[in-house]
Structure 1
């Protein structure tokens, strides 16, 4: 498992994009429709808190989810399903099972650490197939 980035879940995407890009000078790319930005050298991404809550809790959204979710730690793994099984066997509480996110171009799963911080494991999908 390799550390990828800390994803900040923000309530005002445009304001935060301008702050990290223009004020702090971080370079990267962004997608206004998805409300997502990634600053490669800083290992920080921004994502709309509202969109992230919907993505994580597709079936039921806990009332406290949007107010508590400020960041997600991302790890890239060679095989999301294998890591999911390995971590479930160790008693890890998952938010969702491994699934493909075509809009993100990735296979992902999300789980909690003991303090209820959210961790994402992901693998970029080869979209050429």
Structure 2
């Protein structure tokens, strides 16, 4: 068994598509600004976006918040240079919840941001 895709259920597919395509620079495999879905190439495991499968009003949905233990999932992007990727994304007005820093226990350099749906994203420069 192999993981082939991570599917994110988001309140606004278009907003997240623009974030992952235009700001994060991911290659779109399927979908566009007018489709109710999107899929991005990210190596061996793709990321897909679909509308939420809940019938709750948007006010009840989780809002983006600072880095915390309340997250149930994080998307980890392995990058060659966390600081260079951080600077590149900052130049595109991407907001970070934690700037690049070392994690001595793990031997990685990391930075954290969120997509428009509030999903936690880690940039990871570890081995």
Shorter chain as denominator, the TM-score bin is 0.3 to 0.5
Q: If the length of structure 2 is used for normalisation, what is the TM-score?
A: 0.46
Q: If the length of structure 1 is used for normalisation, what is the TM-score?
A: 0.45
